[in-house]
Structure 1
Amino acid sequence: MQCFDIVVLSFCASGFSPGVSSEHVDELRVFLLVCGLRRVKDPLYLLEVFSEWHYENPLNVLVIIGPKIDPVLTIEVEAAVKRTAGVFLAQEKSQQELHAAMKRCFAVVNSSISEGMSAAILEAMDLGVPVLARDIPGNAAVVQHELTGLLYSSPQEFVHQSQRLSSDHELRERLVKNGKLYMEERHSLKLERETYQRLVDTLL
């Protein structure tokens, strides 16, 4: 069985699709859904439509990675992934390992029902990785559509936006550039440190 390693995540090429041979492993477009397994993250939201898309193009794969927070939902996700082509569940990794995997993936995905400020989205922007986020208030407050990332409001629109990201290199470069710029201007370590220091000062 031919296997490959995306930095820290080991997957079997033959498990993705019978049409994916070892020489095409490097061409895989890995969409990384970074989330704890709990209802508010809605990890099953994209599975059916993504699987259909995977059948059309076996190079597209979705990997769900994060801690197993809700035991009941975890069982549901594990069962759904086993019967869904092109979708995989990975073990929780250290932050260093996760960031390494994020830098190697095609895009980082958010499918949450509700968000405050998604750490995974901010980390992806900082790492220069395009973001595809569900169009909810918390995500829209961080992701400006077609400028710092892409927003979608349905699984079908997720596929449409992903196809744009795959075919439009100028769009991809713009999202990466503006995402990193957004992080430098709004969430740099220096800025965050100064903000927290001012907050502490006001409390003293």
Structure 2
Amino acid sequence: MDIETLYEIAAALNFNVEQLLYFPPNNNAVISNSIPSTFFQHASRFYSYFYNGKNKRLVKCVMDIIEASDAYRYKVMMYMNVKDYDYYQDCENTYLGYIENYDVLTSIILKNQATHVEQITINILASFLDSSTKWGLMSGVSFHPFMPIALKMLFSKKPLKENKDLINELKINKEDIRIMKMYNMMSIV
């Protein structure tokens, strides 16, 4: 199939071309090696998790870093509520946006591809430190029910073992509530 036809199919389906393509892990080694954030270097795929208290279940996401826009900004695609990592593009919601990396902060700004009014922001502190996981704070608007939200999100370079320990880490705990009361704001450290 030629590129023009691919773009026509994407337009007819109201998708971005990136949603029709499969990106194998680490396919963007040159791009991911240029990312200043240590946590996000050397890989183009990340896994993230959060806990949905309403449905009482773990939500799995996959994020692909697609291409560089400039020295600090990279185009990303996030697949939310993934059932199977082998077919992660078959998911509940897809988001397209950018990841911006700075010395002490990584920000990810994404728009839902089915409902453009939904925009989420994820902030991750200390991404310059290398570790196997990183905590982030995701904020935006929930549509079930319709209200502004903020929640804990855990990022990993590889899929994590999905068990009660992971779920308990993702739930808001006493220390989160203590910090929230102290500052009168949701904070993830």
TM-score by length of structure 2 reads 0.34
Using structure 1 for the length normalisation, give the TM-score: 0.32
Task: Compare the two structures and name the one with the higher helix fraction.
Answer: 1
Higher RCO (Cα < 8 Å, 6 or more apart): 1
